[in-house]
Structure 1
Amino acid sequence: MKKKNRIYFVPTDATQSYRLQNGSPSLKSDAGISEQKQEGSLQLNFKNKSAVSYRYEMTYPPEGVDSIFKKSGYIHPIITPKGDTLTRIQPDDHYHHYGLWGPWTHTQVDGERVDFWNLGDGMGTVLFKKFKNTESGDVYASFTAVQEHIDLKTKKEPQVALNEDVQVKLWDLNRPDRYMLDYKSAFNSPLENGILFESYRYGGGIGLRFNKRWKADNCSVLTSEGNDRLTADRTNARWCIVSGESSDGKGTNGILFMSHPSNRKHPEPMRIWPIDANGEEGICFLNFALYVMKNGK
């Protein structure tokens, strides 16, 4: 099938004009939007520096920690244009937290509960399978990864309960201080009886464990509905920005999460850890979720 030509218009704060003309597309961007594989991760680069990395090889837990917490198929690190790392993996309070990933927890397979998130329970896991494609050019760099949600509980041998295509695009916004990241996930189940996603306190969508330096006194939350770090948990929003002190202490940086209007639960339910989470340190975790029970415990 002949590949169709596409035109991308990327909005910016500045007034711009566009001119269409015939020509050959460039394979790499002079602006530094590119992709490359390095040491078991696929890196999407911005301004010729790593911005977003997808881990496709296995990551093992620290020495002395049960190997049941090993994992592939997650995004880490996410790095700001100024070089600050915003994500964290394998914190000692939650070894199953892996940067930015898809945290599915309460599901049913043939009447049995299977949890693909809490790895320590040994019910399931999510692992990288293969890449469908990678590409880069003047406007964006992207990849599509196939991930397998593996049921470790209901059969004698592990079985694939969900096939997932994760498409990630890093967009150049023609701004030196920011970039845009699109994250799209599509599922299908090979199981004869399918899989049931149960109601639970929270889960699905994407989860992000933020860097260790952001705590109660230097990390803030603001949502489209005006909620903050104290009130945003278990609310819905069209967007949510999480920001905190930069590593040099001379400013702030952060991530703006935007729910797409076509999402099933738009405006998106959110789980944001209370400010006294983890021994009153106020460490930040966000689940931009498919479901959050308002009165769950």
Structure 2
Amino acid sequence: MNTVRVSLFVGALLSVPLLAVAEPVTLKLQAGKQDRLSTPVFWELPAALRKASGFTLTRGEDGKNVPVQITQDDPPRIMWILDEELKAGQSRRYRMTPTAESSAAAAVTCRDNGRQLVVAVGDKPVLHYNHAVVPAPNADEAYYARSGYLHPLFAPDGQVLTGDFAPDHPHQHGVMFAWTNTTFEGRDINFWDQKSQAAKIEHVAIGETFEGQVAGGFRASLRHTDLTAPEGPKPVLDETWEVRVYNVSDGFLFDVHSTQRCAGDSPLTINQYHYGGMAIRGRREWLKAEGAEFLTSAGKTRDNGNHSRPDWVTMSGQLEGRPYDVTMFASPSNFRAPQPVRLHPSKPYFVFAPLVLGEFQIRPGTPYESRYRFHVAQGAPDVKRTQQLWQDYADPPQVTLIND
């Protein structure tokens, strides 16, 4: 495993190509049309500054240092958290100065316990990624074993919010991505229904992990395989997950970026169907009357929201007498956005399912990319805050360089 420890910085960087790396610069962050709080901020790093080893960023109004980190994106970006409220229409200035790397400890860690990657903020676990195969509880149903998914997903107080191997639907695993009704080389394949034993999805490799004061996470490779091919199991899709957990003060916040590519020369046809895609399964305690509720960005519920096309969906419920919720935001850049959502009429799970709108193909040489953001909170759902989180994701605050 190739592990990358991202350098920890107490600063930020932004420049123009002719700017000397040694010169301080001033940055202007604009809130835009809404209030901002606990918001991830990004800026693509100009080529002239990509060799810099570290920076300090100080807030203009009070000189306070702000933690910042360089992403592993290509091209690299800088990121920091806007941790004090910035009202709509307002702006904030920062002073950025190159400096040596900081030795500050990582606030967000990603550690391998041998079977899972455990991503935590401070001493609080946020999520586990299962890279080892998790066996089915029932030995007679070994085909339900799975790797390459997120579970458990935790609340800030340590309560587990996702379910795995539920008695009613043992093929639903925490946060997972699976297509349902597909055709590959003339054969009908269902990657969602493990009981059919026609296909499987599995973890292949950890690409890298990273830690930092602003975010931590990993990149992992998965494979979708046809088990019905005449010559034996045949790879259909190679998938990459990039997972980034942020150091925010308001619950837990993380992104999942999935990229699926054809594993060979044959396309995969995803047929029209009523579910399939990026899904989340809630706790089995929520599998009861009024055990879990759904709320969409359009105000729809389990009763009237199925196959609607929301920006986000919140699943909420009680555990040990306390309320919890987890929201999935579907990026406006996704295929067929806003994507239809399958809200199950009785089970605690939902899935963003673009195939509801009709057949499409994943073709060789054309990756299928999809991005989702998740927010986990304790307490009753706060629609106003959730909508603010959506705007942070869909229309983030803008950063510009101010020439002194």
Asked if TM exceeds 0.5, the reply is yes
Gapped runs of 5+ residues in structure 1? 278-282
Alpha-carbon deviation of 1:47?
2.4
Confirm or deny that 1:66 pairs with 2:141: yes
Q: Residue type of the partner of 2:127?
A: V
* Inter-partner Cα distance in structure 1 for 2:103 and 2:147: 28
Q: Deviations over 1:132-169 (max 9, x none)?
A: 11101111011111000011012331111100011111
Q: Which residue of 2 aligns with 1:7?
A: 78
Q: Deviations over 1:145-203 (max 9, x none)?
A: 10000110123311111000111110112x1x412110110111122222111111221
Q: Which residue of 2 aligns with 1:96?
A: 171
Q: TM-score, normalised by structure 1?
A: 0.87
CA spacing shift, 1:43–1:108, aligned 2, 3 Å: same
CA contact 1:105–1:118 (8 Å) conserved in 2: yes
CA spacing shift, 1:82–1:114, aligned 2, 3 Å: same
Q: Which residue of 2 aligns with 1:280?
A: none
CA contact 1:26–1:138 (8 Å) conserved in 2: no
Q: Which residue of 2 aligns with 1:210?
A: 282
Alpha-carbon deviation of 1:29?
4.3
* Inter-partner Cα distance in structure 2 for 1:28 and 1:121: 50
SS at match of 1:263: coil
CA spacing shift, 1:152–1:180, aligned 2, 3 Å: same
Larger Rg: 2
CA spacing shift, 1:172–1:92, aligned 2, 3 Å: same
Q: Which structure is richer in relative contact order (CA contacts within 8 A, separation 6 or more)?
A: 2
Instruction: Choose which of 181, 184, 188 in structure 2 pairs with 1:109.
Output: 184
Gapped runs of 5+ residues in structure 2? 1-46, 53-69, 71-76, 87-91, 359-404
* Inter-partner Cα distance in structure 1 for 2:159 and 2:235: 36
Q: Which residue of 1 aligns with 2:334?
A: 263
CA spacing shift, 1:148–1:241, aligned 2, 3 Å: same
Q: Residue type of the partner of 2:351?
A: N
Q: Which residue of 2 aligns with 1:192?
A: 265
SS at match of 1:268: coil
Q: Deviations over 1:64-112 (max 9, x none)?
A: 4321111110100000111111111111211211111002111111111
Q: Give the number of aligned pairs.
A: 281
Q: Which residue of 1 aligns with 2:388?
A: none
Deviates more, 1:221-230 or 1:164-173: 221-230
* Inter-partner Cα distance in structure 2 for 1:97 and 1:39: 23
Alpha-carbon deviation of 1:227?
0.3
Confirm or deny that 1:23 pairs with 2:94: no
Confirm or deny that 1:231 pairs with 2:307: no
Percentage of matched positions with identical amino acids: 25
Q: Residue type of the partner of 1:222?
A: L
Q: Which residue of 2 aligns with 1:138?
A: 213
Q: Which residue of 1 aligns with 2:343?
A: 272
Alpha-carbon deviation of 1:210?
0.2
Give runs of aligned pairs for residues 159-178 of structure 1, distance below 5 A: 159-173=234-248, 175=249, 177-178=250-251
CA contact 2:315–2:326 (8 Å) conserved in 1: yes
Structure with the larger helix share: 2
